Amino acid sequence: MSAMLLTATDVFGPEKAQQTIRDNLEFDKDLAQHKLDDHWRHGRLRDVILARHLFYELNEMLYRQMHDRGRQLQDLGQSMNERRAFVLRMPSQRVVIELRTSSHRDAGHQWTTNDLHDIAAMSLALPYCDVTLADAATRSQALRTGLHRLFEVALPRTPDEAADLVPT
């Protein structure tokens, strides 16, 4: 048996992560520009975003984890409400869904890769930090969605305000 040498590219391929960001950006642009109208923006948009997130982002991992435990994806719940509740109980996933939904409600929002990076960063910061410093647009979105109340996180406007919140 020969030994196998693992390289950094075997463990982590940054090009795959970059391609995922580009693919997600194209999806969000297409959804915003061609598939959403006022009916969807003011209706069950969150369900659309959640279903897309569950299918494209969580499906493979959930399938693998549930299969390892002798369970099936149907075990997530019988109704849409049960499946929605399951996904929304995952703090980081909830942040992604709420921030994406908030952005898609704004018909004039122009999606950029920075939006996706901000959402990813906030999905880790909001549920697990006591203080989160974000740019003005991201901060406003977190406040508008109520995520700051849900996770009991302070969202200061400036670095000085953030510094004042850190115990000495």
pLDDT per position as a tens digit, 31-42: 888 888 777 777
Comparing 102 with 43, which gets the higher pLDDT?
102
**pLDDT averaged over every residue in the chain:** 87
Q: Confidence class of residue 1 from pLDDT cuts 50, 70 and 90?
A: very low
Mean pLDDT of 25-33: 88
Mean pLDDT of 131-151: 96
The predicted-structure confidence for 48-101, as pLDDT tens digits, reads as follows: 899 888 887 887 888 888 889 999 877 888 888 888 898 899 999 999 999 999
- The pLDDT score that the predictor gives to residue 110 is 94
- 3-state SS, one letter per residue, for the chain: CCCCCCCHHHHCCHHHHHHHHHHHHHHHHHHHHHHCCHHHHCCCHHHHHHHHHHHHHHHHHHHHHHHHCCCCHHHHCCCHHHHHHHHHCCHHHHHHHHHHHHHHHCCCCCCCHHHHHHHHHHHHHHHHCCECCCCHHHHHHHHHHCHHHHCCCECCCCHHHHHHHCCC
Q: Confidence class of residue 2 from pLDDT cuts 50, 70 and 90?
A: very low
Comparing 110 with 74, which gets the higher pLDDT?
110
Mean pLDDT of 15-37: 86
- The pLDDT score that the predictor gives to residue 10 is 56
Tell me: pLDDT of 133 over 90: yes
- The pLDDT score that the predictor gives to residue 68 is 92
Tell me: pLDDT of 159 over 70: yes
